[in-house]
Chain A
Amino acid sequence: MNPYLPYEAEVVERVQESKSIVTLHLRLTDAAARSTYHFAPGQFNMVYLHGAGEVPISIVSDPHDETILGHTIRIVGRVTGGLAKLQPGDRVGLRGPYGRGWPLQEALGHDVLVVTGGLGCAPVVAVINYVILRRTFFGKLTIIQGVKHSDDLIWRERYTYWRSLPNTQVLIAADHGGPLWPWHVGLVTEVFDDARIVPERTFVMMCGPEGMMHAGVKNLTGRGVAEDHIYLSMERNMQCAVGHCGHCQYGPDFVCRQGPVFAYPKLKALFGVKGF
Chain B
Amino acid sequence: MNDPEGKPLEEAPLFLPASRLQHLLDALVRAGFRCIGPRLRDGAIVYGVLDRATELPAGVTDIQAPGSYRVGRTEGPRMFAWANGPQALKPLLFSPHEDLWHAERRLDGGLEFIPDLPNADPLAVIGVRACDLAALALHDQHFLHGAYADPYYARRRSELFLVAVNCSHPAATCFCASTGDGPCATCGFDIALDELDDGFVATCGSERAHALLAGLDLAPATPEQVSEARRQSEQAAQAQTRHLPSRNLREALFANLENPRWAEVAERCLSCGNCTSVCPTCFCHREQEQPSLDGSSSAHTREWNSCFARDHSYIHGLTFRPDTRTRYRQWLTHKLGGWHDQFGRSGCVGCGRCITWCPVGIDITEEAMAICGSRT
Chain A residues near B (Cβ < 8 Å): 1-8, 29, 48, 50-54, 76-77, 89-93, 235-237, 239-240, 242-247, 249, 251-254, 257, 269-270, 273-276
Interface pair A244/B321, CB less than 8 Å apart: no
B111 touches A93 (CB 8 A): yes
Return A80 CB to nearest CB of chain B, in Å: 8
- A274's contact among B146, B311, B326, B342, by CB below 8 Å, is which? B326
B329–A275 CB distance below 8 A: yes
Q: Judging by beta carbons under 8 Å apart, are B147 and A257 in contact?
A: yes
Closest 4 A-B residue pairs measured CB to CB?
A275-B326, A252-B341, A246-B284, A76-B316
Q: Confirm or deny: B295 has a beta carbon within 8 angstroms of a beta carbon on chain A.
A: yes
Contact A275 B320 (CB under 8 A): yes
One of B28-36, B99-107, B124-132, B199-207 contacting the partner: B99-107
Given A243-B147, A246-B283; 7 other pairs, CB 8 A cutoff? A91-B109, A242-B146, A243-B148, A245-B287, A249-B334, A275-B320, A276-B330
Contact call B105/A50, Cβ cutoff below 8 A: yes
For residue B305, CB closer than 8 A to chain A, the reply is yes
Given contacts A53-B289, A249-B334, contact A242 B147 (CB under 8 A): yes
Give the residues in chain A near B23, CB-CB below 8 Å: none
Of all chain A residues, which has the CB nearest B299? Answer: A51
Q: A52–B284 contact, CB under 8 A?
A: no
Q: Determine whether the beta carbon of A50 is less than 8 Å from that of B113.
A: no
Contact sample, A vs B, 13 pairs, CB 8 Å cutoff: A3-B151, A5-B115, A8-B113, A50-B105, A53-B287, A54-B300, A91-B109, A237-B315, A246-B305, A251-B341, A253-B341, A269-B254, A275-B320
Chain B 120-157 residues near chain A, CB threshold 8 A = 142-143, 146-151
Which secondary structure characterizes the binding site on chain A?
A: loop
B288 within 8 A of A: yes
Q: Give the distance in Å from the alpha carbon of A269 to the alpha carbon of B250 in the complex.
A: 13
Judge whether A239 and B287 touch: CB under 8 Å: yes
B110 touches A29 (CB 8 A): yes
CB distance from B255 to the nearest CB of A (A): 10
Number of A-B contacts (CB under 8 A): 126
- Given the known A-B contacts A237-B312, A247-B305, are A4 and B110 also in contact in the complex, defined by CB atoms under 8 Å? no
Q: Which of B103, B149, B311 makes the CB contact (< 8 A) with A93?
A: B103
Inter-chain CA distance A93–B338, complex, in Å, is: 33
Q: Is the CB of A2 within 8 A of B289?
A: no
Q: Is the CB of A8 within 8 A of B146?
A: no
Q: Specify which chain B residues have a CB less than 8 angstroms from the CB of A246 in the assembled complex.
A: 283-285, 305, 307
Q: Which residue of A lies closest to B307 (CB)?
A: A246
B interface, size bucket: 35 or more
Q: How far is the CA of A76 from the CA of B317 in the complex (A)?
A: 8
| A249–B112 alpha-carbon span in the complex (Å) | 31
Chain B: which residue is nearest A7 at the CB level? B113
Residues in A with CB closer than 8 Å to B316 are: 76-77
- A53 to B291 Cα, complex, angstroms: 10
Least Cβ–Cβ distance between B328 and chain A, in angstroms:
10
Is the CB of B302 closer than 8 A to any CB of chain A? yes
Q: Is B22 an interface residue (CB 8 A)?
A: no
A272 to chain B, nearest CB (A): 11
* A5 cross-chain contacts in B, Cβ below 8 A: 100-101, 113, 115
B312 to A4, Cβ gap below 8 A?
no
Chain A contacts for B341, CB-based, 8 A: 251-253
A244 touches B143 (CB 8 A): yes
A4 proximity list for chain B (CB < 8 A):
100-101, 115, 300
| Complex Cα spacing A221 to B127, Å | 57
B257 within 8 A of A: yes
**Is the beta-carbon distance between A48 and B330 smaller than 8 angstroms?**
no
Task: Provide the residues of chain B in CB contact with A251, threshold 8 Å.
Answer: 254, 333, 338, 341
Is B298 a contact of A50 with CB atoms below 8 Å? yes
Chain B residues in 8 Å Cβ range of A53? 287-289, 300
Q: Are B302 and A245 in contact, with the CB atoms below 8 A?
A: yes
In Å, the complex CA distance between A128 and B313 comes to 30
| Alpha-carbon separation in the docked complex, A231 to B140 (Å) | 33
How far, in whole Å, are A253 and B334 apart by their CA atoms in the complex? 10
Given contacts A5-B101, A235-B315, A249-B334, contact A90 B285 (CB under 8 A): no
Q: Do residues A244 and B257 form an inter-chain contact, with CB atoms below 8 A?
A: no
Q: Contacts A89-B109, A244-B143: A3 and B149 contacting too (C-beta < 8 A)?
A: yes
Q: Choose among B257, B286, B333 the residue that contacts A245 (Cβ–Cβ < 8 A).
A: B286
A3, A90, A239, A243: which contacts B286 (Cβ < 8 A)? A239
Q: Would you list which residues of chain B between 336 and 376 have a CB under 8 Å from chain A?
A: 337-338, 340-342
**Max chain B C-beta neighbours (<10 A), residue from A77, A244, A254:** A244
Chain B residue numbers with a CB within 8 Å of A92 are 111
Given A236-B320, A237-B315, are A91 and B287 also a contact pair (CB < 8 Å)?
no
User: Which residues of chain A are near B286, meaning CB under 8 Å?
Assistant: 239, 245, 247
Report Cα–Cα, A19/B151, bound state, in Å.
41
Instruction: Specify which of B110, B283, B313, B321 lies most central, judged by the most chain A CB atoms within 10 Å of its CB.
Output: B313
Bound state CA distance, A52 and B287, in angstroms?
Answer: 11
**A129 smallest CB distance to B (angstroms):** 24
- Give B94's nearest chain A residue, CB to CB: A244
- Could you tell me the distance between the alpha carbons of A257 and B148 in the complex, rounded to whole angstroms? 10
Given contacts A51-B298, A236-B315, A274-B326, contact A249 B338 (CB under 8 A): yes
Residues of B within 8 A of A252 (CB): 337-338, 340-342
A59 to B317, CA, bound (A): 22
CA distance A48 to B330 in the complex (A): 29
Closest Cβ of chain B: how far from A203's Cβ, in Å? 26
Contact of B150 (CB < 8 Å), options: A48, A51, A244, A269: A244
Q: Contact at A244–B111, with CB atoms within 8 Å?
A: no
Please, how many angstroms separate the alpha-carbon atoms of A53 and B340 in the complex? Answer: 33
**Contact partners of B288 in chain A: CB under 8 A:** 53
